[in-house]
Structure 1
Amino acid sequence: MSKIKIVTDSIANLTDEEIKVYDVHIVNLNVLVDGVSYIDSDEKIAKETFYQVLKEAKELPKTSQPSIGTFLDVYDSFEDGTEIISIHVASSLSGTASAAQQAGDLSKNHVTVIDSEFADRGQAYQVIEAAKLAQAGASKEEILEKIKDVKEKTTLYISVFSLDNLVRGGRVSRAKGLLSNLLNVKVIFEFKDGVLTPMQKGRGSKSIQKFLDEQVYPKLETLTVKECSLSYVCLTEFLHEQIDKLKSMFQEQVLHIGFTVPTVCIHTGEGAFAMMYYHD
């Protein structure tokens, strides 16, 4: 068994099978809904139904990063001398990596904390490739180099149909959010190096479709894609069309399509989705 252990947080949106097969250790973020706290993977806020919880909440649910103590418990649960690589959601979105680093400084084991600079499956790509190498007996240096390579070859787009939650969560300015909502403007961002950059905006979903048809799908056809993912808050007719398109382009083993995690739902809102991929 590998002496190098891989740790990540629940925002990576790994499946139960991936966690088991790749021996990845998950530290959950917490979600606060109308005063009740749940862990990110709790069955009471299942990914499939959380958007309904979000719609019915009296106040905007909040997220909280894992405590330093929670991370320390995970790191110190491994036998003495274990090398740990801990890969986390972009520090621009959460203080999770900072808490991990503080815990790593206190741990009996050696912990290398990585800011993935992504979220959801964009983060998962780094975690899975690192875990594969760890299981194969690769050195820490080899794993860190692979993580860097995957990060550089990852692209993530996120589209929101309302900026309300991003504004309330401090991810975009109030002025931009108000203007967008007044004009019924839908926005698609590229999330790169931990920064959200608007790529296309317009009224309704047609502008988003235009961007995907002209900028994203043609690019995908030129690459050797390792995985293409579509994560969403809830399914819409628009998303069904994108899923059909992706299924026509890729074999099933290359695609990962499903609900995002509750912590992401809170900041993006109903109708939001992320399309991401990484390539050779």
Structure 2
Amino acid sequence: MKIAIVVDSTAYLSDEIKEKNDIYTIPLNTIFGDDTYREDIDITPEEFYDKMRAQEELPMTSQPSIGDYILLLEELYKKGYTDVISFHLSSSISGTLQNAVAAGQSVEGITLHAVDSKIACTPLGLLAVYAAQHKDDTPLEELLETLNRFTNKDYLDAYFVVDDLTNLKKGGRLSNAQAFVGQLLKIKPILQFEEGKIVAIQKIRTKKKALSKVEDLVQEAIDKQAGDNIVLTVIHANIEDEAKEFQAKLASKFKDATVLISHFGPVIGTHLGEHAIGVSITSFDVDVTGF
């Protein structure tokens, strides 16, 4: 048995981490008019935010096609892999996992094991890294059982603050009137994944107050975590300096946690908008050297 680890591009893992842990990636797409860009291949996050800022219409996003996934599986089969553990952003917000499953049924000689992370970004990536670090010393069925257990809030969670309501309005998630009132009041929604869906759990008047509330929510999440290897990740949409400041603040407050920094790439950034910022909390034992 030879196991490959695949994760979709919304994990936003660095090339260094993917190479170190022998992780393969399948890209999602962002679409501006007639132009389609594969995430982290055809467009960088900085280029994406510059382009989105200049557009009147919100870009569209799309999952990898079944054909794209079949090509990847055939490549892995030729390299001698017999099994693939494939990690994807929540199936409640994307059809990526469903396309992966369909592709797996179309390629003979290799078995696909799809994992619905019920989330996205760094928690998704850390699940894949954990699998890569344990695939050779843990029986496959035991590893899959463990990974699926890790996809609940006992082991991972996340909170995000949206800087403004423009993308939510453009994406049809709230009315123009709601957006207008929200902008006047400087409302900063705090978002969370619940049952795989992104929901607004609180609306705060300023970003400073919203981030302060996120700190409280992070503390509550840590107190409920089943594992004891706490990793916090500050995730940002093109505001690296602000993210580094928040990272330092969290590191000072949560001294027993490892605090990383990552970013919202084009697909997730399309929906959250530029200047969004969030924190993910994971508590399973994974080596994050190189992040």
Establish whether TM, by shorter chain, passes 0.5: yes
Shift of 1:275: 0.7
**Gaps spanning 5+ residues in structure 1: where?**
none
SS at match of 2:57: coil
Choose 25-34 or 242-251, whichever is displaced more: 242-251
Within 2, Cα distance between the matches of 1:258 and 1:110?
31
Count of aligned pairs between the two proteins: 276
What's 2:59 paired with?
61
What's 1:255 paired with?
259
- The reply to whether residue 96 of structure 1 matches residue 100 of structure 2 is no
Within 2, Cα distance between the matches of 1:215 and 1:269?
22
What's 2:202 paired with?
200
The answer (yes or no) to whether the contact 1:129–1:146 under 8 Å persists in 2 is: no
Q: Give the direction of change, closer, same or farther, for the CA distance of 1:63–1:221 in structure 2 (3 Å limit).
A: same
SS at match of 2:76: coil
Within 2, Cα distance between the matches of 1:209 and 1:177?
21
Percent identity for Structure 1 against Structure 2: 29
Within 1, Cα distance between the matches of 2:131 and 2:168?
31
Q: Give the direction of change, closer, same or farther, for the CA distance of 1:47–1:81 in structure 2 (3 Å limit).
A: closer
- The reply to whether residue 35 of structure 1 matches residue 40 of structure 2 is no
SS at match of 2:149: helix
TM-score between the two structures when normalised by the length of structure 2: 0.84
The answer (yes or no) to whether the contact 1:227–1:255 under 8 Å persists in 2 is: yes
Amino acid at match of 2:162: V
SS at match of 1:271: coil
Structure 1, residues 225-270: CA drift from partner, whole Å, max 9, x if none?
Answer: 4421111112177545412212324679933213221111111112
- The reply to whether residue 159 of structure 1 matches residue 161 of structure 2 is yes
Structure 1, residues 124-157: CA drift from partner, whole Å, max 9, x if none?
Answer: 12111111111x2422212212212321210111
What's 1:216 paired with?
218
Q: Give the direction of change, closer, same or farther, for the CA distance of 1:142–1:178 in structure 2 (3 Å limit).
A: farther
Choose 209-218 or 115-124, whichever is displaced more: 209-218
**Gaps spanning 5+ residues in structure 2: where?**
285-291
Shift of 1:121: 0.6
Within 2, Cα distance between the matches of 1:74 and 1:142?
25
Structure 1, residues 6-59: CA drift from partner, whole Å, max 9, x if none?
Answer: 1111001111111111111111111222432211012x5212443222211242
Choose 210-219 or 93-102, whichever is displaced more: 210-219
Q: Give the direction of change, closer, same or farther, for the CA distance of 1:31–1:209 in structure 2 (3 Å limit).
A: closer
The answer (yes or no) to whether the contact 1:185–1:202 under 8 Å persists in 2 is: yes
Within 1, Cα distance between the matches of 2:61 and 2:237?
16
Shift of 1:68: 0.3
Q: Give the direction of change, closer, same or farther, for the CA distance of 1:117–1:178 in structure 2 (3 Å limit).
A: farther
What's 1:111 paired with?
112
Shift of 1:78: 2.3
The answer (yes or no) to whether the contact 1:233–1:273 under 8 Å persists in 2 is: yes
What's 2:24 paired with?
25
Within 1, Cα distance between the matches of 2:27 and 2:104?
17
Choose 83-92 or 32-41, whichever is displaced more: 32-41
Within 1, Cα distance between the matches of 2:44 and 2:99?
25
- The reply to whether residue 120 of structure 1 matches residue 121 of structure 2 is yes
What's 2:144 paired with?
144
The answer (yes or no) to whether the contact 1:158–1:191 under 8 Å persists in 2 is: no
Amino acid at match of 1:186: K
Q: Give the direction of change, closer, same or farther, for the CA distance of 1:70–1:239 in structure 2 (3 Å limit).
A: same
What's 2:287 paired with?
none
Choose 9-18 or 209-218, whichever is displaced more: 209-218
Choose 138-147 or 228-237, whichever is displaced more: 228-237
The answer (yes or no) to whether the contact 2:222–2:230 under 8 Å persists in 1 is: no
Shift of 1:158: 1.4
Within 2, Cα distance between the matches of 1:252 and 1:131?
25
The answer (yes or no) to whether the contact 2:157–2:281 under 8 Å persists in 1 is: yes
What's 2:289 paired with?
none
Q: Give the direction of change, closer, same or farther, for the CA distance of 1:88–1:176 in structure 2 (3 Å limit).
A: farther
Instruction: Calculate the aligned-residue CA RMSD, in Å.
Output: 2.6
What's 2:76 paired with?
78
Amino acid at match of 1:141: E
SS at match of 2:75: coil
